[in-house]
């Protein structure tokens, strides 16, 4: 048994341009799809995957408007539909999530209406701005912006890694962020908490949830409620509480890799042999 190595850059044509990504491992395997969190990119897995077993292959994608992937067309909010909003690794039989069990949800219609109204106004304001007007600066300046925005979650090395796909050179030592500014408006259509609970009952695969020290008490209560539902429905359920911030998978990848590898090997059985 060995560990994963980077295979190639991937560029998938879509109607509005391309979805870009990175393939790790053998092309002979059906890859697990790795999806980064909001405003990150496929590079978020660069530190982690070299410590993951090569019995799997992993395709990391830049979601539209992130990293090297094309932005959605003007006046399109498709990129802000609720989906996996943290870091996820998914296949037909395996689901691994870090720091998330559900998108943002609101307990009352009034709170949702206020949130959605503000979000739509933000989206329209960002949509009217020319692509990537700034900020511009040196890589070090953009790196400092990333570190400050993530409030201590990113180390200097992790921020540098994200900027490999997250920034482009304009001239000399001047760079700009690649991300679609409209992403800053957030999710326009978050589901109700009731719908999230229904979705949780539909999870039948092998399921690992890794939670870092990231949440307020109110969100933890909802988090645990959803986990209890998934625990009853999933084929093989595991929950791990880790110390460290949201980007602990980048800052201390070997520690997180131990948990993921143990879980992957626990999932090996006759039914899932095709994934390993």
Nearest to 9, CA basis, from 35, 43, 54:
43
Show the domain range for 100. 6-269
Q: How many domains does the chain have?
A: 1
- C-alpha 10/C-alpha 36 separation (Å) is 16
- pLDDT for residue 260: 95
In a domain, 274, yes or no: no
- Residues paired with 210 in a beta bridge: 98, 240
In a domain, 1, yes or no: no
The string of pLDDT tens digits covering residues 204-238 is 999 999 988 766 566 788 889 999 999 999 999 99
In a domain, 275, yes or no: no
The string of pLDDT tens digits covering residues 86-101 is 566 666 677 777 766 6
Q: 3-state class of 44 per DSSP?
A: helix
Q: Assign residue 237 the CATH number of its domain.
A: 3.40.50.1820
- pLDDT for residue 75: 63
Is the previous residue joined to 237 through a cis bond, with omega within 30 degrees of 0?
no
- pLDDT for residue 73: 84
Q: 3-state class of 145 per DSSP?
A: helix
Cβ–Cβ < 8 Å for 46, 165: no
The string of pLDDT tens digits covering residues 129-159 is 776 666 789 999 999 999 998 888 999 999 9
The string of pLDDT tens digits covering residues 188-204 is 666 778 888 998 999 99
255-270 as b/e, with b when 16 or more CB fall inside 10 Å?
ebbebbbebbeebeee
Encoding tokens for residue 125?
């304001």
Highest mean pLDDT among 31-40, 68-77, 213-222: 31-40
- pLDDT for residue 269: 57
């Amino acid at each position: 048994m060995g560990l994963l190595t980077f295979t190639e850059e991937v560029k998938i044509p879509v109607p509005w341009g391309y979805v870009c990504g990175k393939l790790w491992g053998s092309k002979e395997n059906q890859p697990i799809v790795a999806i980064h969190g909001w405003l990150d990119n496929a590079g978020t897995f660069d530190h982690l995957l070299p410590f993951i077993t090569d019995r799997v292959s992993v395709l990391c994608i830049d979601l539209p408007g992130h990293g090297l992937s094309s932005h959605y067309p003007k006046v399109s909010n498709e990129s802000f539909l609720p989906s996996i909003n943290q870091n996820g690794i998914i296949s037909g039989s395996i689901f691994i999530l870090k720091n998330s069990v559900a998108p943002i949800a609101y307990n009352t219609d009034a709170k949702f209406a206020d949130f959605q109204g503000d979000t739509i106004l933000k989206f329209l304001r960002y949509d009217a701005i020319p692509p990537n007007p700034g900020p511009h600066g040196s890589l070090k300046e953009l790196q400092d912006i990333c570190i400050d925005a993530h409030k201590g979650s990113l180390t200097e090395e992790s921020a540098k890694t994200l900027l490999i796909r997250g920034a482009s050179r304009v001239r000399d030592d001047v760079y700009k962020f690649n991300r679609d500014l409209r992403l800053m408006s957030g999710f326009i259509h978050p589901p109700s908490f009731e719908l999230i609970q229904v979705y949780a009952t539909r999870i039948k695969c092998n399921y690992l949830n890794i939670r870092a020290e990231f949440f307020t008490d109110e969100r933890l209560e909802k988090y645990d409620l959803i986990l209890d539902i998934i625990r009853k429905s999933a084929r093989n359920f595991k929950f791990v509480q880790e110390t460290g911030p949201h980007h602990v998978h980048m800052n201390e990848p070997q520690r997180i890799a131990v948990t993921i590898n143990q879980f992957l090997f626990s999932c090996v059985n006759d039914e899932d042999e095709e994934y390993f």
